[in-house]
Amino acid sequence: MNKIFFYILFFCFLQNCGFTPMYSQKNGNFNFIIESVDLEGDKFINNYINVQLKKYSFVNNEKKFQIEIKTDYKKNITAKDLAGAATDFELILNTNVKINRIDDNNVEDVNLALTDSFNMKKNEDKFEEDSYERLLKKNLATSVYEKIIFNLSKL
């Protein structure tokens, strides 16, 4: 009987640990609004970043920002086999972010240069390789988005 009581009590404590995601908007830690986002570069990455940043355009707060994002995505060959076919790739995402803070009194500009990379092996199945590359592009875009939100929350 004591073991059953202990397991029930232990399970209740695990359910109420108080975990909340760091970048969750439910926390109320973000007191800014993104008025406009101008994007240039890779369409897939830009669309993903834009969808994520739209969450912050419907809030009414005092801090207002305009953001310009330029992405440069490259897929470089890092290794080849004896026949000369590529076996390893390096995916590089260079992002330049210009943040304009718009207040009644002043305009403040912040420039960020972000670089993320990932190494990928070639897959024999072209469809799986393309699917994996799209997943990695999404992960790189998520990393850029999180860095932008982090820097906006510091301003």
DSSP code per residue over 50-78: HHHHGGGSS---SEEEEEEEEEEEEEEEE
Provide the β-strand partners of residue 34. Answer: 65
Q: Select 31-154's CATH number: 3.30.360.10, 3.30.160.150, 3.30.2420.10, 1.10.1040.10.
A: 3.30.160.150
Q: What is the pLDDT of residues 72-117, one digit of tens each?
A: 999 999 999 899 889 999 999 999 999 888 776 666 788 999 999 9
pLDDT, tens only, 37-71 = 899 999 999 999 999 888 877 766 777 888 999 99
| Domain ranges across the chain | 31-154
pLDDT, residue 24, reads 54
Q: Is the Cβ–Cβ distance between 117 and 93 less than 8 Å?
A: yes
